[in-house]
Every structure is written in structure tokens, then in C-alpha cells.
Amino acid sequence: MEDRKKKQIPLRLSAKLYDAIAAWAEDDFRSVNGQIEYLLTECVKQRKKNGKYVPENLDEPFEIDIK
């Protein structure tokens, strides 16, 4: 039988990334936790569709331009 209980995991985010996700969550009427779960779910769905879910250069440092 599948375990349907949600798992808790620690997650570290930069302040800028957290603020961007929080703003997006507010726009979508979700909690930050709900927004992160939504984003991860969409990423997994995309991976199942085409086998790719991230760009090839994911490990390269990037700057989040949030104004």
C-alpha cells in the first residue's frame, strides 16, 4: 500500500529565492510550502513527459534578478 502521508524535509533557500517564491505563492493564493510543492510536482510531471526537467547547465552559478 502506498504511503500517502506527506514527508517533512529541511530545505535551505537564499533570502532572494524565498522572497520570490513567497511573492509567487501570494499571487497564486498558496502558502510558501504549497507553492514549493506545486513547483516540484510540475517539475516531476515535466520530467515524466520528456525525460528532462532542468537545463544542462544547472550546476553553473546563477543570479536571481528580483526587483
Nearest-angstrom CA–CA distance, 3 and 62: 36
d(CA 67, CA 57): 24
pLDDT number for residue 54: 63
pLDDT tens digits, the chain, 67 residues: what are they?
456 788 999 999 999 999 999 999 999 899 999 999 999 988 888 777 777 666 666 566 666 676 5
What is the per-residue pLDDT for 27? 92
Residue spans of beta strands (DSSP E) within the chain: none
pLDDT at 44: 84
Sequence ranges of the domains in the chain:
15-50
